[in-house]
Amino acid sequence: MDLGTSLINVALLAMLFVVAVAIIRMRSLFAIVMLAGAYSLLSATWFVVLDAVDVAFTEAAVGAGISTALMLGAMLLTSRTAKSERAILGVVPFLVCVLTGAVLIYATIDLPALGDAASAANSHVGAQYLERVQADTGVPNVVTAVLASYRGFDTLGETCVIFAAGVAVVLLLGFGERSLSARSDKGRSRKESK
């Protein structure tokens, strides 16, 4: 990896860290939702640096786009600020965090290097996909071929999950006709007052 890419990586990760700390420290929910969108956008940029454009696209569309809009919609139903908590430094939680972090950092030593052709993810089934995709499907974008054809059953499951989420929200909250009825009531009373 050349120096420029490393610098971009360090800068993006530092910005992610700053945004994460800001989200933890803030109490205004509106600012937190906006910062969460910024966090997703930064992650998407980082995925582009890692050559994972499909993942970056999904992160930008879903993480920065629609979840921000949905969180704003949910925020309207509640108060605008989170409860302020007194900052207390617990020794045991602090130790648990430090220990978990240390274990995770220790585990990264075993991870293969970025783009390592001999790593487990790239050598077995991944290499097979790359070799056979043109003969099997004739689709230029291998990601689409894997997602829609080789792993079509998985994608069906994902689509089911999204549908189930929509159904669950409808069962809990309804279709949102409430605003329509409230608005038409108000319109009627306004007309009557005129």
Partner 1 sequence: MTSHHVILRVVSKLLMPVIVVYAFYVQFHGDYGPGGGFQAGVILAVSVILFALVFGVPEALRAVPARFAASLAAIGLLLYAGVGIWAMLNGGNYLDYDFLVEEAPGGHAGQHLGILLIELGVLFTVSGSMLTIFYAFAGRVAEIRDEDW
> Residues interacting with partner 1, by CB under 8 A?
30, 53-54, 56-58, 61-62, 65-66, 69-70, 73-74, 76-77, 80, 135-141, 143-145, 147-149, 152-153, 155-156, 158-160, 162-163, 165-166, 169-170, 172-180, 182-184, 186
Angle at 191 between CA 186 and CA 194, to 5 degrees: 125
C-beta closer to partner 1: residue 73 or 101: 73
Q: How far is the CB of 138 from partner 1 (least distance, A)?
A: 3
Q: How far is the CB of 70 from partner 1 (least distance, A)?
A: 6
C-beta closer to partner 1: residue 18 or 161: 161
C-beta closer to partner 1: residue 106 or 153: 153
The answer to whether 119 touches 112, Cβ cutoff 8 Å, is yes
Question: CA 40 to CA 56: how far, in whole Å?
Answer: 9
Tokens of 182: 């409230």
HSE (CB half, 13 Å, CA atoms) of 63?
A: 18
Q: How far is the CB of 173 from partner 1 (least distance, A)?
A: 4
DSSP secondary structure letter of residue 77? T
Question: CA 143 to CA 87: how far, in whole Å?
Answer: 46
The answer to whether 76 touches 30, Cβ cutoff 8 Å, is no
Q: How far is the CB of 151 from partner 1 (least distance, A)?
A: 10
C-beta closer to partner 1: residue 5 or 141: 141
C-beta closer to partner 1: residue 100 or 134: 134
The answer to whether 13 touches 66, Cβ cutoff 8 Å, is no
